[in-house]
Amino acid sequence: MTAPLDAAPVRATTGSPGTRVWGGLTLAGFALLLAFAFLWSPADILQQDAVRLMYVHVPTAIVAFTACFITTVASAMWLRRKTEGWWVLGAASAEVAVVFTAVCLITGSIWGRITWGTYWDWDPRITSTTLLFILLIGYLSLRRIDSEAGDSAQRGARSAIVGLLLFPNVVIVHFSVDWWRSLHQSATITRLDPTIEGTMLFTLMLGIVVFSMLFAWLLVHRFRLGWIEERVGATGLDDAIEERRAEAGVPAAGATL
């Protein structure tokens, strides 16, 4: 069990000075966003206070779709280069994407209840985002199987192919659902007014920036965790044997047997 991997000692933490500063900035950003979202931005004339959900809903949607795109790019790069970093990045991004997609769906649903009077509507965006959520879960369950297969040399290309198809599938699904619903859509539903301005627009932009910062922070940590996990796979058994030897008071490797 002497893989070249365990030569370098691995830091057993995902934090670093850089991420701590970044995390602090993100927290400060959230404080500012909360102040803007709840205090300094006005309620909408039509939607009243429900409009404040938009400052979470829209940024999470943007981040979720960006994260999917990153997974697709990482999968393509892994298929090309077969380097560990791309492998870990694909999973890290998809995991964060699942969380953001869920938040996006939940906030959208609450907003829909208040504004449209229904938790669910066959809106193209809701439908395709829900399908995206399921696609991501499918991808992650396949990933888990592939990760259990061992180190990068033994891994199949399966989850990378599914990851590669993730974003194109979202596009095809969205296009078809959009086309389908545009034929039936009743015009009575009040849409988000696209011409928002002033403080509301600023708050929305701030939300996008802050949630992107959070995404970057989560992605970096998840990436580092994945990286450490890869190392644990290679060194874990050796370490465990050493530990057991130490416990039993047996001299270190090689002395017995």
Partner 1 sequence: MFRDAVLMAGKDLRIEWRSRVTTQQIAPFALLVILLFGMALDPDRGILARASSGLFWVAVLFCSLLAIQRAFTIEAADGGRDALRLSGLDPAGVFLGKAAAIAVQLVALEVVLAIGVVIIYGAEVTGFPLLIATCLAATAGLAASGTLYGVLAAGLRVRETLLPILLLPVLAPVLIGATRSFEAALGGVAADGWPWCGLLVTFALLYLTFGTLAFGTLLEES
Residues that bind partner 1 (CB under 8 A): 79, 131, 134-135, 137-139, 141-142, 145, 156-158, 161-162, 165, 168-169, 172-173, 175-177, 179-180, 183
Question: What is the nearest approach in angstroms of partner 1 to the Cβ of residue 61?
Answer: 18
Distance of CA 214 to the CA centre of its chain: 10
φ, ψ (nearest 5 deg) of residue 156: -80, 170
Question: Positive or negative CA dihedral for 166, 217, 226, 87?
Answer: positive
CB of 164 to partner 1, least distance (A): 8
Asked if 76 and 164 touch (Cβ cutoff 8 Å), the reply is: yes
Q: Which is nearer to partner 1, 25 or 172 (CB)?
A: 172
Measure the CA–CA gap between 36 and 23, rounded to whole angstroms: 20
Nearest-approach distance from CB 144 to partner 1, in angstroms: 10
Of the two residues 145 and 246, which places its CB atom closer to partner 1 in the complex?
Answer: 145
At CB < 8 A and 24+ separation, what contacts does 213-217 make?
Answer: 213/22, 213/25, 213/26, 213/29, 214/26, 214/30, 214/63, 215/63, 215/66, 215/67, 215/96, 215/100, 216/22, 217/19, 217/22, 217/23, 217/26
**Angstrom distance (rounded) from CA 16 to CA 125:** 38
Give me the residues paired with residue 48 across strands.
44
From residue 223, alpha-carbon distances to 168, 181, 237 in Å are 24, 38, 22
Alpha helices (H) along 36-83: 54-81
Question: Minimum CB separation from partner 1 for residue 163, in Å?
Answer: 11
Q: Which is nearer to partner 1, 151 or 243 (CB)?
A: 151
Closer CB to partner 1, residue 54 or residue 98? 98
User: Shortest distance, CB of residue 79 to partner 1, whole angstroms?
Assistant: 7
CB 139 within 8 A of CB 159: yes
Give the nearer residue to partner 1 in terms of CB position, either 171 or 205.
171
Q: In the bound complex, what is the minimum distance in angstroms from residue 152's beta carbon to partner 1?
A: 13
Shortest distance in whole angstroms from residue 224 CB to partner 1: 28
Nearer to partner 1, 119 or 175 (CB): 175
Among residues 123 and 224, whose Cβ is nearest to partner 1?
123
